[in-house]
Homo-oligomer: A and B are copies of this chain.
Amino acid sequence: MTEPVFKQIAIIGAGLIGASIARAAMEYGVAESVSLYDADADVRRRAEAIGLGDVADTLAAAARTADCVFLCVPVGALSDVAAETVPAMKAGAILTDVGSVKGQASSALAAADDGRVHIIPGHPIAGTEQSGPEAGFASLFRNAWHILTPREGGDEAYAEAVSQLEAFWRGLGAKVETMDAARHDRVLAITSHLPHLIAFNIVSTAFDMETVEQGEVVKYSAGGFRDFTRIAASDPVMWRDVFLTNKDAVLECLGRFSEDLAALQRAIRWGDGDTLFKEFSRARSIRKAIIDAGQDSGAVNFGRNQAADAPEGDGDETD
The chain A residues found within 8 Å of chain B, CB to CB, are: 13-19, 38-40, 43, 72-74, 76-77, 98-100, 123-133, 135, 143-145, 147, 186-188, 190-209, 211-244, 247, 250-254, 256-258, 260-262, 264-265, 267-269, 271, 273, 276-277, 279-284, 286-291, 293-302, 304, 308-319
Contact = CB atoms under 8 A, between A and B. Distances in A.
The CB with the most chain B CB atoms within 10 A, among A200, A252, A264, is that of A200
Please tell me how many copies of the chain the complex holds.
2
A178 to B, nearest CB: 14
The SS class assigned to the A binding surface is helix
Contacts of A147: 220
A-B interface, 3 closest residue pairs, ranked by CB to CB distance from nearest? A15-B316, A215-B298, A192-B223
Contact of A222 (B132, B144, B289, B313): B144
B192 A202 contact: no
Contacts of A239: 276, 280, 318
A213 to B, nearest CB: 7
Instruction: Give the one of A214, A241, A286, A300 with max B CB within 10 A.
Output: A286
Contacts of A291: 308-310
A208 B283 contact: no
A247 to B, nearest CB: 6
Contact of A247 (B192, B271, B311): B271
A299 B295 CA distance: 26
B220 A264 contact: no
Contacts of A304: 208
A277 B200 CA distance: 11
A223 B125 contact: yes
Nearest to A18: B316
